[in-house]
Structure 1
Amino acid sequence: MAALFNFRLEFILFFLCIFPVAFSDELQTLLSIKSSLLYPTTSNVFKNWEPKTPSCNFTGITCNSDGEVKEIELSSQGISGGFPFDKICDLKSLERLSLGYNSLSGEVTGDLNNCVKLMYLDVGNNQFTGTFPDVSKLTELTHFYANNSGFTGKFPWNSFDNMSKLVVLSVGDNQFDRTPFPEVILKLRNLNWLYLSNCQLEGEIPEGIGNLSELIDLELSMNHFTGEIPKGITKLKKLWQLELYENELTGKLPVGFGNLTNLGYFDASTNYLYGDLSEIRYLDQLVSLQLLQNQFSGEVPAELGEFKKLVNVSLYTNKLTGQLPMKLGSWANFDFIDVSENNFTGPIPPDMCKRGTMRGLLILQNNFTGGIPESYANCMSMERIRVSKNSLSGVIPAGIWGLPKLEIIDVAMNDFEGSITADIGRAKTLGEIYVANNRFSGELPSEISKATSLVRIDCSNNQFSGEIPGTIGELKKIGNLYLQNNKFSGSIPNSLGSCVSLSEINMAKNSLSGTIPVSLGSLPTLTSLNLSENQLSGQIPTSLSNLKLNLLAFSNNQLTGAIPDSLAIDAYKGSFAGNNGLCSQNIKNFRRCYGESGKPKEWYTLLICLLVALIVVLVSFAGYLYFKKKGHKENETSLKQNSWNTKSFHILTFTEDEILDGIKHDNLIGKGGSGSVYRVQLSDGTDFAVKHIWTSDSGNRKISGTTSPMLRKPGKKSKEFEAEVETLSSIRHVNVVKLYCSITSDDSSLLVYEYLPNGSLWDRLHTCKKMLLDWETRYEIALGAAKGLGYLHHGCDKPVIHRDVKSSNILLDEFCKPRIADFGLAKIAQADSTKDSTHVIAGTHGYIAPEYGYTRKVNEKSDVYSFGVVLMELISGKRPIEPEYGENGNIVTWVSSKLQSKESLLSIVDSSIPEVFKEDAIKVLRIAIVCTARLPTLRPTMRNVVKMLEDAEPCGLVGIIVSKDDGSNKAEQLKDHTKM
């Protein structure tokens, strides 16, 4: 007995001696992990990871009953740096390692294979590099997350051969090499969640997918799958979510699809699926049905109207017919419906907002009849109403105009009547109004000025009358104002000069009288002004000379006097016709200006000019003497008061003071929606372009002396400034404008760029600075710009979406080599980019991709569309928006209308391009047509656009574009890509 007691005592002493060493080793391992990582100073994650603290008490650490580390939970902690995977498996009892949603970098090494007890591994949503290692020895794994972590190359699918216990496998959102569906996954019979979206899978989805009978969630979206949806999917009776969107699937929904009676979320959008939706009628557990951008036909099953859980329906851009079920959306907290671009008929279901939760009613471009049901006037949750291009009629329920969360109301191209009511004054979030092409009448209510979030108003082609409200100047965010072809009378409000964001004004074909307001000349971003076919009188204000207009139209009014010389240019040819009282010394074939005696008035005009010049010189000299001393001290004091912060992104050969000294009115070379640009020349003759992005309180400041007062008043840095710096600071590409540095203080935001002497492509194609560009030069501009944009999309760590690609944002150096510029709207692509502000229009009218009107989302394919428009400008020499395109037309629709024959196709090409290069121009035109395809999935990537342009290198050979035998077929093929 004593011997047994002694043995037990010795064993206990041995145990006590050994295990403290083991526990000490685990403590050192954890402290080593901490020392390898970077984390925010404000984070508490490692606050108690200290040598004197027991490791089992560390934040994020869980131990087993023996005091050994069992779980590490460090997800979503803002951690960065390289994780020491070579040390983590020293924790021999580790079963759970969670590192997801951080910014970890470097490689994930094969040392993980030593963590043989791991059951849960999450390295997803990080910034690793390289290929994912072979982890085939982790046979105990039940949950494996490696999605969206930057992995590339060949994925070791064979790792899963022995992982029969896997319940969750998530490896999507990694750009692996193209590969077929990995058959080894079909052996994982315990899987209930399989996430393989956006990881470059191709070929057909295998029939064997039906053997994974435990699947609840199957996500295969954003790949390159072809063929039909396999019938095997119909065996997955437990399936709750099925995501197949953005592939190249064809065929019908498989027979038996209705057997998936547990399916709650089904999204097969943006494929080539066709046939009817009859199988859907059995899926009464559906919460969300997303089948947009396919080729489905037939009617929506009536049973959908009885689905008790249905809250989202997106079926837009199909070929569906018939009526929507009248009870649709009336049972649950319905969210939105989008069935646009189909052939639906009948009335709008009245009860989709019955529970007060509906956010979106989008049914545009169908054949719906009747009116908007009165019930929607009480839908306080509604954000977007788009019912344009239907056969709707009647009066819009008054309450709709004033819905408190409404962001856009689009009822254009119907047969509505009545008026816009005073309720609109309550619509504080309303950004856009489209009521064009209806029979609206009455006055525009003055209360519209209280809807201060408005950025676009289109009331064109109606019967509105009365005066334009004088309070319209309170709409500081308004960018586009279309009131043409109505019965407006009275004068144009002078207050329009306060709408500092206006870029387009169209008031043509009304009965407006009085003079053109001088205040319009102070609008910093105005590019289009159409006041033709009214009864305006008086002289054209010289203040309009300050504007940089792409379109100016004053024809058929009663204007008198001399046309300001700066407006009497070829770019505005025809803009002044039908004004018998106008005269000009500069416009050919236009009435010359004469004095009262009937003799030329040049001599007394010259005398008056000399007298005025003399007075100006005397006053200026006196002012100079007065302000020189005072102003010098004031400016010097102002500069000394600022604390400057310079962030350089290239080697600098200048100082802050040299740049600041150049910010003066004499050096101003351009104004845009977000600020001013100056040409600053150093003493050695080097030029730089310096952009000042206006802060919230500096937009109306003027520049005087040698230093701008805008450098004196504190203001918040704009989002445009932050976006531009974030985007350009790390970019190095010959076709992207070079940002040398940013210079900021509490009240100033300056960006210093390389100076490009040839200005923008827009200037060289469309303005008085127009130059004759031969085809080789146009081609090189197209290819260079494509390479720059391709680098943004494919060459950066994360894709950069420009969001405002247009010819005025393509700058040219002295050799006409292009640079992509102006990144004020750019954004870094995120995994979840679900919502852009309605009140910031992402893009420029004429360049915006059509899908933006539905979703407000932009991606790389939106940039591709805009680039296609630029190509059409280069080929045709025309602007994106021209009067000849017709109402609501643009260059894309115009090109589409020219594809019927060889002759009309050739007529698109700019007449200044020699015949020998027209074949080459047509090659690029075909690329432009594909880039502007209606469906984003039909557009190529910018990487492919570059390849296609390289293949279209000018050869100078005269050739026939399409032969007589196959001309019609090719024309039809081109038309398919440009369907509007």
Structure 2
Amino acid sequence: MNLTGQLSGDIGSLSELQYLDLSFNVDMTGSLPQAIGSLKKLSTLCLTGSGFTGPIPSTIGSLQQLVNLSLNSNRFNGQIPNSIGNLSKLYYLDLTNNLLEGSIPVSDGINPGLDMLLQAKHFHLGMNKLSGTIPPRLFSSNMILIHVLFDNNNLNGSIPSSLGFVQTLEMVRFDRNSLSGPLPSNLNNLTNVNELSLSNNNLTGAMVNLTGMNSLSNLDMSNNSFNASDFPPWIASLPSLITLKMERTQLQGQVLVDLFSRPYLQTVVLRNNHFNGTLNIGTTYSNQLQLIDFQNNSITNFTQNTGNITLLLEGNPVCEQTNQVAESYCIASSPNSSYSTPPNNCLQVTCNSDQVASPNCKCSYPYKGTMFFRALSSLDLKNSSYYSDLAEFLMQTLKSYALPVDSVSLSNPTVDSSGYLELSLEVFPSGEESFNKTGITMVGFVLNSLIFNPPSLFGPFYLIAYAYGNYAVLAGVYAFHQKKRAERASEQNNPFAHWDVNLGNGGVPQLKSAKRFSFEELKKYTNNFSEGNSIGSGGYGKVYQSTLPTGEVIAIKRAQRDSMQGGLEFKTEIELLSRVHHKNLVSLVGFCFEQGEQMLVYEYIPNGTLMDSLSGKSGIRLDWMGRLKATLGAARGLVYLHEHANPSIIHRDIKSNNILLDESFNAKVADFGLSKSELDSERNSVTTQVKGTLGYLDPEYYMTQQLTKKSDVYSFGVVMLELITARRPIERGKYIVGEVRKAMDKTKDLYNLHEIIDPFIGLGKSLKGLEEFVNLAMRCVEESGDKRPTMDEVVKEIEKIMQLAGMNLSADSEPSSANYVEVSKGSSHHPYNSDSFGYSGSFPPSMIELQSK
């Protein structure tokens, strides 16, 4: 917006204001007025990257509707107000990169504190001057935090064991403080943590065993004073490990060869320790391994071929041997580099003193700035490929917004004292000597850290741009309507502009279970997407069956052009799907996102949808026992989404067409993919565009326009009625819920539902538990959500019904002739044909809600 001056106290008169975003107005100065506390309806206060000074006003604690408080990258000083603890709806707290000092406030019976923010998921307090200890009272098992980022402060004392009670945590950063003492023994309770950074402290004692932290992908304990010990064997057992950094941690002996076979491992930094003997990385090391740094140890022997892996052994005895001195791994790597983007095969030109030659050898006035990345300490600054990849990625991003950019140049990479990589940036105009004001604004907008996601190697960043002519610019110039307009234009011109999997993407979570397939791979597996491999189609595109070289059978869902998501939406969807694992949910095997294609690869489910079974289309009919088994499986899948996924997931489109049957007739829930998400400040949840299915939609939605977990329960109740009637929810103008309710007579056998019950269910046989099943279904479809059970309660009731029917709950994998009736043998009709097929992860806007627990 390029606003200047101070924020007037008159802002307090805007009593109906709900959203205030003054981000990236570097020339806004002065303090935040106390009158800000009068904006009682404010849900978002975002002042990121502006010039505010002075203390944060205590009146901010009066904003009871506040969900997002982002005051990062200003010059606020003084202490963090205790009153922030009164913000009971707060979801996101970001005070990073200010001048805040004093202790972290917690409640004391009189004054509030941050420990009272039980709905918060983000505590970002890094890069300040905070001191004192991390209060044990700050954390509790009632919290749902996922990020605790306290790096680059002056905190001392020990890490409190109460941290281990917050089992929702995904990222913990306490690096670059003065913390001391031993690590809490319960750290391994944090099984969802994927990044743990404790480097550059004074931690002592034994290195705690982190076995069980199966999500841990980035571990950094460098530069501490732990007890001298051999390499901990538990490190080699971490299944998701990507980056391991333990520089100067008193480790000795030899590294277990199993470490290097971790499937996702990319970076190992163990320099400045006491490892000795032979370094052995084995023959089955990770194909993603990029860097092994053992500089300044006592390694005496290494003879393996490491291929394209960068190996650093300088400062070890092995490099003092005559025949090893010339080996590349014995050549010292300088800390900084004089790299500059080279010319693009053109003749160098001489420019006027105030102009600069671009990589395309054209003289002009470039947009200049410095990019600051949270660098890996292991980054080899002399490796020019890092910077050429980044420059290409920057160029692609700028071009995707149709900006007149000739080229991009990067130079002078250095790492500062806080561990941030600094890179000088120049963006050159195309066709003119300089950018006009609109061009400058748009370049700054696109390079805003809210828009541009760099390759994952570089991680999160911010950019400060220099004065340009008469314009003072800051990358991150943010006007809401401009942002939306540019996003729409980018999506229309290039739906993949925001993310290229070949170059990676920043931030966490990392994809661990989903494989990235190239377009050529999937083209080969499907015989060039031949009709012979096609097994289904719908409004989104086609589905193809194939077999991987491993023998695994897969289903490939290929989006057609008009049903594709935006790049960020597609990225969010596969990140979500790759984290959701349950035997009653369809598993994502991988994805493809290149050459104008969006494809999702799933496990192949051979027996089609529950709808196809009930209609006879699949050639398979389930009897009563088989239907109970399918009901329990689908219900368990939903309980996982509601109660165990993090964040919890509201499916929003439960129907028989989204429940698939595997080879043993176990039910698997599909179509729980994410698209078009936005923060719902009223419910502290992430919601998506609503598009339910007629006949399954919660009646309360028509009044509230909100879908909840109880909405899923309603839809599931409709599916239960389908299971006993084999009728669609609305058939020949009649609604299944109303028809069952009208026909029911609890004084009669089978509740007088003989005319409605599907004959294939096994009429004439004993249908033990059917009446209880109907009772449960009718409770699920109560008009009021308050009267419906939870899915967890539904599972318990179904288990009781199955026991009443004489079924063994543990025998839920092997089929038997008593579970199903196979009809139409030899039918050429594929169970997933036509519009009935629906694997999870739809490309059009799907029905899901991520909700705080």
Structure richer in helix, relative to its length: 1
Q: Which has the higher contact order (CA 8 A, sep 6+)?
A: 2
| Bigger radius of gyration | 1
* TM class by smaller structure: 0.3 to 0.5
With structure 1 as the length reference, what TM-score do the two structures score? Answer: 0.37
